[in-house]
Structure 1
Amino acid sequence: MAGPNLTPVDDALTHLLSRVPVTTAVETVALQDSLDRILAEDYYVPADVPPADNSAVDGYALRKEDLGAGEPLRVSARVPAGQAPQPLAAGTAARIFTGSEIPEGADSVVMQERVDLSDNSITVSAEVEAGQNIRRQGQDLKKGALALTSGTPVRPQEMGLLASLGIARVSVMARLKVAILTTGDELVDPGTPLAPGQIYNTNRFTMLGLLASAGCEVVLCETLEDTRQATRASIQRAATQADLIITSGGVSVGEEDHVRAVLEESGELSLWRLAIKPGKPLAFGSINGTPLLGLPGNPASVLVTFLVLGMPVIRKCQGHGRTRAIGETLPAAFSVASASTRREYVRARKEIQSGETHITAYPNQSSGVMSSACWADGLAVVPEGTTVEPGDLLTYYSFAELLA
């Protein structure tokens, strides 16, 4: 249930994702520089991983059938890691180390703690199963298998997997180029004394941090003059440099809200005013073919709308295999007495109460209270037309998941 002329969040998100293009630019980077980048191609396994049977422990490789009732086995070889072993002589054992290749003829490895060593012979003091402590060739990945798909974000574990394939340079999507434009003659940068009527530019730095976390490259960062002409010139200049423009403020109905007007006059405005709280005055369109996402001006609204709507857009543009965040269902430890026509994203955090995890809301949900987001660790969703009593189940998104 959305209010008059307000677009529901789900419809807005579907619209946004249908209208922004996937950036096609690709670059190749060294494996050590690939963290948090998006793979631009599929990677297949060039050879079995591991390439040969190897030992999972330090110990002794042997044939199970050579073990008699307490009879010792002569140690006939030493197999250090990184060297190809000779075949194991019948009736003997080979000293072997973790990661060392299993010598031909051996079918088991006994941990050194399960062996008594005397006069270069061993006596095994434990039961032995054929194949124990052996990591088989290809047990991780088989030659020709698909290891990683295009669109996969590279985490430390993907870096390790690529290394296991022998990949030294990785094909990744080029970083998305984003322009940040904040509006308001009252805005000044931190470090500057405030004159009457001025405030510090909170939104610029919130968006810089969010875009850095999202792996984007900020190519332009400006505060716009509150005139139609200056706003148009800055937006048009940004469109020549960026893949995506993100603005804050200037999209409501005031006389000084020029961003929406410039989109209507000089580009395309395809979405305006959402059934979301906070953040109703959000606009989307394009200027000279470059998409523009116009966020509201209040600091908490910027954060919420960027996470809920901006991040899926960025993931889509980056070629990310997953655009939408995945939430979890948890009971509320707060109440909402009045149902709203807008979907509310409550700054909240998880807390343990009576041994169970609940969602606790920050007491002041005003869109200007940025300290609420520092206290919180995520957003709890109160659906449209819904009241909340303690214990009611809500969807909760952690900030980490929203930025993943």
Structure 2
Amino acid sequence: MRRTVAEHRAAVAGLLRWSSGYDAARPVVLPLTEALGRTLTEDVRAPVSLPPFDNSQMDGYAVHADDLGAPSALTVAEAIPAGSVPPPLAPGTAAPIMTGAMLPEGAAAVVPIEEADPAQFYTGAQHASGTPSVDLPHGIGSGRFVRRAGSDIAAGDVAVRAGTQLGPAQLGLLAACGVGEVPVRERFRVLLLSTGDEVAEPGTDLAPGTIYDANSTLLEAALLEAGAHVTRHRLLGDDPAVLRGALAAAPAGSTHLVLSTGGISQGAYEVVKQALVGSSVEFSSVAMQPGGPQAHGTLSGIPFLGFPGNPVSALVSFEMFLRPALHRLTGAPAPRLELDAVLVEDVRSPEGKHQVRRGLYRDGSVMLVGGPDSHLLHALATSNCLVHLPVDVTARAAGESVRLTLIGPVPSDPFAVEDVLVTEQVTIG
């Protein structure tokens, strides 16, 4: 079956939506310490105001409302440390107050210590030896350096809305409001399989004719970054019966997706194709390079996706098809940033295919990294974007605009990175 990129993206999104059994409305209540990256299922309101009381923005002197006019020598009152409840402030006095400390009743402003005379607080011994005073400047405005109660958020207001993916700022706000746990969407659970007699576990001895398995680590990391829970199966060889056994053992009800890599192309030993003969799984050819071979369907009611075996093809497939579907279904991960950039070199693309090249983006320009081949993993690792050349584009010249998807941070000067410029496997252009 021949598909466009858009058609297969819609097919994957529909498969997950209608067959995965994932319920975005079903909450899991977690402590804040476990909620990073999770998506809220309902609005969370602030149980207290922030700040909860009027407090000082500076280390300085709290000044009574009656003393805001002409400057005068004010008697220094008892100091107010943060965390204490101060007595009311009497007119004619100024209380040393620390940043974040509660403003005493009667106080209307705070004068920073560096604007006072003397410009340092009296010691305990100086207080004990007499009645110290402080001179404050002219024109002290009411409310100066005072954080009013509720000026950030009032009690009862929505602190974080449903559907928000919780990051450090949102979790910090909830903690400041006194919220200890939150209702979030459950994690999308994926069983990850990698096939092939030629692959070996990283860290083991490499036999002649074999390669290390990169796909399991690559896709597990991508799925974890996308907020999914991943169960990683041991490596599977090219025995269809063994693969069928592993697929049959997938726990129904606790697995939302089975994802495999390899064994779906046109070779003589395509184990996934052989194992799934007669099943509902469709094997498609998507008009995309790399990542043309794709598989999708259900096995015993569990959604199944098959990605190509080359590492770059596997990650491009994830970014183009599975990541957007996870966002639509679960709210996580956040969508990738897409933008236009100017090519710094000429590029060609095969007719009738959506080519996805790897590149380095900075300051409105993009430099291609490596060629179009799907084995150039080093080129992928040194890239920060995917460059799109749609099916109706066979060439773009330097200086022309292309659409790209950011998949990594933008370096301060990627064009000066010597490692990118030349190796035997990674060439520019």
* TM-score, normalised by the number of residues in structure 1: 0.88
> What does residue 13 of structure 2 align with?
17
Q: 1:385 to 1:102 in 2, by over 3 A?
A: same
Which residue type is aligned with residue 206 of structure 1? L
Match of 2:270 in 1: 257
> Which residue of structure 1 lines up, in the alignment, with residue 420 of structure 2?
none
Q: Which residue of 1 aligns with 2:259?
A: 246
Q: Deviations over 1:209-235 (max 9, x none)?
A: 223323333224133332433332222
Cα distance, 1:242 vs. partner?
2.2
Which position in structure 2 is the counterpart of 1:361? 368
Please tell me whether residue 394 in structure 1 is matched to residue 402 in structure 2.
yes
1:347 Cα deviation from its structure 2 partner: 1.0
Distance 2:405 2:138 in 1: 51
- RMSD of the TM alignment (CA)? 2.5
Q: Which residue of 2 aligns with 1:108?
A: 109
Matching of residue 266 in structure 1 with residue 279 in structure 2: yes
Supply the distance in 2 between the matched residues of 1:176 and 1:98 (Cα, whole angstroms).
44
CA distance in 1, matches of 2:197, 2:332: 40
Residue number in structure 1 paired with 2:52: 51
TM-superposed deviation, 1:293: 1.6
Aligned to 2:293: 281
2:357 to 322, 332, 346: 346
Match of 1:71 in 2: 72
Tell me which residue corresponds to 2:81: 80
| 1:251-330 superposed matches below 5 A | 251-260=264-273, 262-263=275-276, 265-269=278-282, 272-317=284-329, 319-320=330-331, 324-330=335-341
Gaps of 5+ in 1: none
1:346 touches 1:381 (CA, 8 Å); kept in 2? Answer: yes
Name the aligned partner's letter for residue 364 of structure 1: G
Alpha-carbon distance in 1 for matches of 2:401, 2:388? 10
Relative to 1, partners in 2 of residues 1:185 and 1:47: Cα closer, same or farther, differing over 3 Å? same
Asked if 2 retains the 8 angstrom alpha-carbon contact of 1:64 and 1:128, the reply is: no
- Structure 1 position 91, deviation (Å): 2.9
Q: Structure 2 vs 1, CA of residues 365 and 337 (structure 1 numbering), >3 Å: closer, same or farther?
A: closer
Whether contact under 8 Å (1:151, 1:321) holds in the other structure is no
> Residue 139 of structure 1 aligns with which residue?
151
Measured in 2, the distance between the counterparts of 1:300 and 1:239 equals: 29
Distance 1:23 1:295 in 2: 25
C-alpha deviation, 1:147, in angstroms? 1.5
For structure 2, which runs of at least 5 residues remain unmatched after alignment? Answer: 123-130, 410-429
- How far apart, CA to CA, are the structure 1 residues paired with 2:230 and 2:288? 27
Contact kept? 2:30, 2:184, Cα under 8 Å: yes
Shift of 1:64: 5.1
Q: Is 1:149 aligned to 2:156, yes or no? A: no
For residue 294 of structure 1, report the CA deviation from its aligned partner.
Answer: 1.0
Once the two structures are TM-superposed, the CA of residue 207 in structure 1 deviates from its matched residue by 1.7
Q: Determine helix, strand or coil for the equivalent of 1:279.
A: coil
Distance 1:393 1:332, change over 3 A: same
Separation in 2, partners of 1:342, 1:132: 64
Work out the percentage of aligned pairs sharing the same amino acid.
Answer: 31
